[in-house]
Each structure stands twice: as C-alpha cells, then as structure tokens.
Structure 1
Amino acid sequence: MRFKGLDLNLLVAFNVLMETRSVSRAAEKLHLSQPAMSAALGRLREYFGDDLLVLTGKRMLPTAYAETLVPMVQETLRQVDALITTSTVFDPATSQRTFRLIASDYITAAVIAPLSRRLSLEAPGIQLESVLPSDGSADLIAQGAFDLLITPEDFINPGQPAELLFEERHVIVGWDRNSVFAGDVTEAVFMAAGQVGVQMGNQRTSAFADRTMEQMGRFRRMEVTASSFTVVPWLVIETNRLAVMHERLARRMATMFPLAIAPIPFDFPIMREMLQFNRTRSNDEGLKWLRNQLRQESALPEINNHSDTFQSKQ
C-alpha cells in the first residue's frame, strides 16, 4: 500500500534498520532475504533523498536526518498498531494474538505461569511472551514495543498510564528444618541470621525488600546475593540462612521446596505492583481482557487468604 508515493511497509523496515543498524540482522528479524532488505534500504534512501545508514568502519550508523525520522516513524507505527488491535470485539477463545510482557521472574512464577496454565484451556490461541525488566523497560512501553510492564510503583514511567495490579506483603523464608522456625522469628533472631539478598540487572539494582531494609537502617549480614528471586529457595535450603520474599512467591515456592514462612517481626511497607501500558492502547479490548486476567490470577483466594499464610512453619 502506498501513501503519497511511499510503500508503507518500508516504515517497518526503516524502524528495524534503525534498531539493529544492520541490514543482515534486520533481514533476519523481518524474515526477509538480505538482498530484499538491501533493496528496501535503497528504496527508503531514494524516497527520503538521504543515505539514512552509512558504513563507518565496520559499523552502520544513522545519519542526522535518519535520527530525526525515528521518533516520527515509531509514533506512526504505534498509532497503526493501535488502530489494528483496537476492536469492539475480542474473543479470547478464538483469538490468535500474542501479548508481549515485561515482568520479573517473581511475577512470572507467582502470576503469569499459573495464568498461562489456565489460558491453555480457556484461550488456547493466546500466546504470552515475557522478558525480564531492564533499565530501559519503561522506555520500551513508551515506544510501544511491549504491551505491558509489570513493576513496582517506583519504576513506572509517569508519562504513560498505569494501574494497580495488587499490593504485596513480604515474609521471611528459610529451610523448614532451620531451628529458628521452632518458635517466633523475633527481630533479634532475624537480624542475627545470615541472609540471602537479590540484586537485578547490569546496574545490580537491589530488590524492593532489600532496598527498604537499608532505608529503614536495618543492615543484615548478607552471605549470598542472587540475581533473581526464584533461585532464593536453592540458597536457603539446607542452611540457616533467611531471606525476605514476596508473600505470593513464597507461598508458590513452599509447594515445591522445603520452606518455612514467617511474618516479618516489625512494620514493613506494602509493595504496590503496577500494570503499565502505552496510552495508545488504553481502549484495546484485548489488553483490557489481559489486564483483568492478571488481576484475577493475582487475587486467587489461596494467595490472599491470610488465615493460613504461615501454616508452613508449623
């Protein structure tokens, strides 16, 4: 399809070329041959009257003019995507849609994994693609590259809509044969124990619980620092170490590992886990459905029923 002489498919090619800065990688990403991708670049150069990508040493770099086109092309593609995906009718039972999510391994284990099992029966054509958060996650949502970002409130982009998914308490976990769980885990006992912490990403960002502990002036004796939440059980079982973990994840993990769970013996802030999406998708019926499914999954009675929260320490 042409608009004012431009094949609109070339906008997709331009976006991927700017992203990869490589004809071969762009061809691979778009499932095209390298000659076809080179031809697309040639047509783009001819239409815009600019080289767009130039070889500098062994790298291809965008021209100054190409850099000015990038945000406009990305916004155009976001608007087209919103136009295509926005519909008054969305049938999850027959839809073949793929949703792209950014979520930690904690959210994946505690919410997305059980949701995916349910959807395999209720919405078998739906695909969920999940990647771990990075320093640029909020920017990816702003660019429309992903459908949803699930993250603590501190990490959302204030320029895009966000809504509360759930509030999360934190608990203490350890090996169920650890003697400290024979009675109440007091503050003195907790602070005296060796601990497991979590730091994520290239910037080694401390998890909400670890960062909050430090802000409260409670500096623990860290014996191990993990790079993800789901490896923590491996680092506490058969040891006397303790860890602070999200309650939902702790309860999921306690069904698979010999873990004991106890309440934190002092006031500890509630974490607000948010859903963020691009404003152009606010009326996307499919995305509304998925957000509702995530809320339902995160509010299951067996997760939020506090009457049996700490039975596993008995």
Structure 2
Amino acid sequence: MRFKGLDLNLLVLLDALLEERSVTAAARRLNLSQPATSSALARLRDYFGDELLQQSGRNMLPTAHALSLQPLIREVLGDVERLVAASSGFDPATSDRTFRLVGSDYIFMTLVATLIASLQIEAPGLRFEISPPDPGIIQRLERGDIDLLLTPRHFVSPNHPAVAIFDEPHVVIGWNENPIFAGELTLEQFLDAPQVAVLFGPTRTLSFAEEQMRALGLQRRIDVIAPTFAAVPWVLPHSSRVAVLQRRLAEVFARTLPLALAPLPFAMPMMEEMAQYHTTRDRDAGLQWLLGRLQDRARLSG
C-alpha cells in the first residue's frame, strides 16, 4: 500500500534497519533476502532524500535525519498495531494463531506446559513458540517480537503493561537422606551446606532468589553453578548439597526424585510472577484471552 508515494511496508523495514543497524540482521529478522533488503533501503534513501544509514567499519550508523524519523516510525507502527488489534476478533476454537512466549524453564514446567495441554480441546489450532530469556529480551518486547514475557516483577519493563499471574515462595531442597532435613533447618546449617546456584547465560544473570540472598548478605558456600532451574534437582540426590528453588518446581521434582523440602531459615519476599506485553496489545482480544487462561491455570496449580 502506498501513501503519498511511499510504500508503507518500507516503514517496517526502516524500523528494523534502524534497530539492527545492519542490512543482514534486518533481512534475517524480517525473513527477507539481503538483496531485497538492500534494494528497499535504496528506495527509502531515494524517497527521504537522505542516506538514512551510512557504513562505518562493520556497522551502519543512522544519520541525524534517520534518528529524527525513528520515534515517528515507532509511533505510526504502534498505531497500526492498535488498529489491527481493535478490529480483529478472536475465536479460540478456530484460530491458528502462533503465540510467542518468553520465560524460564521454571515457568514452562510449572505453568505453560500444563496450560498448552489444557487448551488442546478448546483451541486445537493454536501454536506456541517458547524461548528462554536473554539479555536482549526487553528490546525484543519493545520491537513487538514477542507476545508475552513471563518473568518476576522486578525484571519487567516500566514502559509496558504487566499483570500478576501468581505469587511464589521459595524453599530449600536437597536429598531426602541429608541429615539437615531431619529436624528444623537452621540458618547455620543452611550456610554451612554446599549449595547449587542458578546463573543464566554467558553474562551470569542472577535469578530472583540469587539477587535476594546476595542483598541479604548471606555468605554461602556455592560449589555448583547450574545453567537452568530444571538442572538443579539432578545434582542433589546422594549428596550434602542444597539449593533454594521455587516451591512449585521443587514439588514437581520431589514427586519423582528422592528429595526433601524445607522452609527457608531466613525471611525472603515472595516472588511475584508477571506477564508483560507491549502497550500496543492492550486491545488484542487473543492475547487478553490467553492472559485470562494463564491466570486461571495458575490458580488451579497453586
């Protein structure tokens, strides 16, 4: 579609180019070939009478004019998204929509997996893409690349809506023959025990529990660093190691592994799990339906 001589599809491409600052990355993001993307950039340059992006070593840097256009483009695309969401109905029984969710293995195992299974009859055509959090997750949310970000409250962006899904306490988990579970677990016993911690990715991002315990100044003896929450329970049996894990996930593994659970021997706030979406999706009927189903499923699993 053209408006005053501009192919409006090119605005989506210009937004991607300004965000990625790379023809190759923008082409990959939009599932276009590199020659097609380069050709579209040439048309944009001709229309705006400006280079828009200039090569600088291996990177492309936006011109001053391009930077002035960027917020206007985001505003236009946001208005289009709101228009589409407001005018689109959603029937779960017939929809073949793909929902893109981002969340840890913890939230997948304790909520998302059972939600997907429960929707098989009500919404048999729906598809789901679930990916783990990464350092660029807020940027992906800003670009509208994901539908829902499932994360603790203190990780959400202040720029977009977020709704509470459930509150989650943490517990201490370890081998059920570990002597420290024979009685009430004390803080001294906890600090003396070798521990398993969870840190994410190459940047070693802290989990909610790790942040809280470090803030409390707990001097712990960590001898295993696990890459995911689901990896933790497997290194606990037949050892003196313990870990702090979300109660729901600990209970899942305690049903199949020889594990015991104990209350934390110190005060730690409940973790509030949230679902965040882009502000342009507030009238997206399908997304709001999915949010409602998430909250329903969370109440059943609590």
- 8 A Cα contact 1:78 1:143, kept in partner: no
Q: Distance in 2 between matches of 1:186 and 1:41?
A: 64
Greater CA drift, 157-166 or 283-292: 157-166
In the alignment, does 2:239 pair up with 1:269?
no
Q: Deviations over 1:29-77 (max 9, x none)?
A: 4333333222211111111111122223343332222222223222322
* Unpaired runs of at least 5, structure 1: 305-314
- 8 A Cα contact 2:167 2:270, kept in partner: yes
Structure 1 counterpart of 2:42: 42
Q: Distance in 1 between matches of 2:268 and 2:34?
A: 56
Q: Distance in 1 between matches of 2:111 and 2:279?
A: 24
Give TM-score, length-normalised by structure 2: 0.89
Q: Distance in 2 between matches of 1:208 and 1:32?
A: 38
Shift of 1:244: 0.6
Q: Distance in 2 between matches of 1:203 and 1:58?
A: 24
For 1:160, give the aligned amino acid: H
In the alignment, does 2:158 pair up with 1:150?
no
Q: Distance in 1 between matches of 2:264 and 2:58?
A: 55
Structure 1 counterpart of 2:289: 289
For 2:97, give the aligned amino acid: R
Q: Distance in 2 between matches of 1:187 and 1:59?
A: 52
Partner SS state of residue 172, structure 1: strand
Q: Distance in 1 between matches of 2:297 and 2:77?
A: 32
Structure 1 counterpart of 2:33: 33
Q: Distance in 1 between matches of 2:23 and 2:139?
A: 24
Partner SS state of residue 195, structure 2: strand
Q: Distance in 2 between matches of 1:297 and 1:123?
A: 15
- 8 A Cα contact 2:98 2:126, kept in partner: yes
Q: What are the equivalent positions in structure 2 for 1:31-70 lying under 5 Å apart?
A: 31-70=31-70
Rate the CA distance shift 1:79–1:187 in 2: closer, same or farther, 3 A.
Answer: same
Shift of 1:210: 2.3
Q: Deviations over 1:147-188 (max 9, x none)?
A: 222221212222322221111011111123333334433333
Greater CA drift, 210-219 or 246-255: 210-219
Q: What are the equivalent positions in structure 2 for 1:198-237 lying under 5 Å apart?
A: 198-237=198-237
* Unpaired runs of at least 5, structure 2: none
Q: What are the equivalent positions in structure 2 for 1:158-169 lying under 5 Å apart?
A: 158-169=158-169
Rate the CA distance shift 1:211–1:26 in 2: closer, same or farther, 3 A.
Answer: closer
Cα-Cα RMSD: 2.3
Q: Report how many aligned residue pairs link the two structures.
A: 302
Q: Percent identity over the alignment?
A: 48
- 8 A Cα contact 2:85 2:283, kept in partner: no
For 1:297, give the aligned amino acid: R
